Amino acid sequence: MTAERYDRLLSLLNVHVRSFGVCAVASGTGLRLPPNGDIKVVYILEGRGALIGEDGAREPFGPATILFIPPKLNVGLLEGKCAERLLPWEDAAVANGEMVIASTDTTVEPAIRAVCVMASAQSLSIRLFHNLHEAFSENLSDDPVATAAFKSMLKELRHPGFGTKTLIESLMMQCYVLALRKQIERGERESLPMNGWRDPNLGEVLLRMMDKPEHDHDVESLARDCGMSRTVFSERFSRAFGQPPMHMLKEIRMSRAAGLLKTTNMSIDSIAMSVGYCSRSYFSRAFKKSFDLDPKTFRERTQAQVRVFVPE
């Protein structure tokens, strides 16, 4: 995939932070991260150790290393070559408002400090980590942008306030793209969480859906554009992107409609037509199913939020 295509896809990426905080791992201990449905992103501020999997495989890390851990992977942050205690996350973590502080031993100075974020990362509804089954890491010590992002993140964690979660989501997005860029530049596309994009035919079809959501796309026409049978196309598309093509098309249309409702004064009828719905009532039902709000209420609430923060 070309850099231009990556840029187009990444421009639609959303990082939704569920929880965030600081991890402190004492000498001779380890912290077991929860194997839930969230992506775990860990940035090592200081100290050295290893990420250890259920099979005993180790991924060493040092300062300025960023670790991406896919959902449902059971791993631990380990200090040193072995750990006398590997403490589960739920036993080590203490909530402090929106922030979580996880410490394996509060009575001693930690050997490892890290920023830990539990998040979901989706481009529209594309499961970027759908095909990723192993953790991967990048050392970003030579990248001033990443270093500045994590310094800002640590500052927010030390002094959380209004907008902290939003700022952390923005900073995590920067770090994700920087790590992804380094792997692309090294040609390590097979290890990327976006490795489902390596089929150029599928990528082109998806970009066409994004560019022209109002068109009357169906599985038959999309499969024909790829030169595949309907069955083969559906199987390959679902395997690459984590869901069937028509489900993806609906998410693209709803995302586009939400953006127009937030940022324009277009009528709801016009927005419905622009994303491929001839019936306003059908569009409204589909939109409410996706956002739990009808289009009119969604617009009123999101535009009211914007007005609150516009300086006079």
The residue type of 22 is V
Residue range 277-299: average pLDDT?
A: 93
Let me know whether 206 and 179 are in one domain. no
**Angstrom distance (rounded) from CA 88 to CA 90:** 6
Which range among 5-19, 60-74, 102-116, 238-252 shows the weakest confidence by mean pLDDT?
Answer: 5-19
Give the domain range for residue 38.
Answer: 6-191
Report yes or no on 312 lying in a domain: no
Let me know whether 151 and 241 are in one domain. no
Rg of the chain on CA atoms, in Å: 22
pLDDT above 60 for 310: no
Let me know whether 183 and 257 are in one domain. no
Let me know whether 233 and 298 are in one domain. yes
Pairing mode, strands 65-69 and 93-96: unpaired
pTM (two decimals): 0.66
Q: Which two tokens stand for residue 284?
A: 């409204």
**What is the CATH classification number for the domain harbouring 20?**
2.60.120.280
Of 191, 207, 238, at which residue does a domain stop?
A: 191
Q: Where are the beta strands (DSSP E) in the chain?
A: 13-25, 29-32, 39-46, 49-53, 58-61, 65-69, 75-79, 85-88, 93-96, 99-103, 112-123, 126-127, 136-139
Provide the pLDDT for residue 307.
Answer: 41
Let me know whether 185 and 203 are in one domain. no
**What is the CATH classification number for the domain harbouring 243?**
1.10.10.60
> Domain count of the chain?
2
The band of 86, judged by pLDDT with boundaries at 50, 70 and 90, is confident
Provide the pLDDT for residue 23.
Answer: 87
pLDDT digits 0-9 by tens, 134-171: 788 888 888 888 888 878 877 887 787 777 877 887 88
pLDDT above 50 for 270: yes
H or E segment to which residue 250 belongs: helix 245-263
Distances (CA, A) of 225 to 5, 212, 242: 18, 14, 20
Q: How many residues does the chain have?
A: 312
Q: Which of the given ranges, 10-14, 36-40, 144-148, has the highest pLDDT on average?
A: 144-148
Let me know whether 245 and 220 are in one domain. yes
Of 191, 214, 231, at which residue does a domain stop?
A: 191
pLDDT digits 0-9 by tens, 119-128: 765 554 455 5
Q: Does residue 33 or residue 217 have the better pLDDT?
A: 217
Q: Which two tokens stand for residue 139?
A: 């050392």
Instruction: Name the region of 31 (left: φ>0; alpha: ψ -120 to 50; beta: rest).
Output: beta
Q: Does residue 136 or residue 62 have the better pLDDT?
A: 62
Provide the pLDDT for residue 222.
Answer: 94
pLDDT digits 0-9 by tens, 195-247: 556 677 888 888 888 889 999 999 999 999 888 999 999 999 988 777 899 99
**Angstrom distance (rounded) from CA 268 to CA 278:** 11
pLDDT above 70 for 19: yes
Provide the pLDDT for residue 128.
Answer: 56
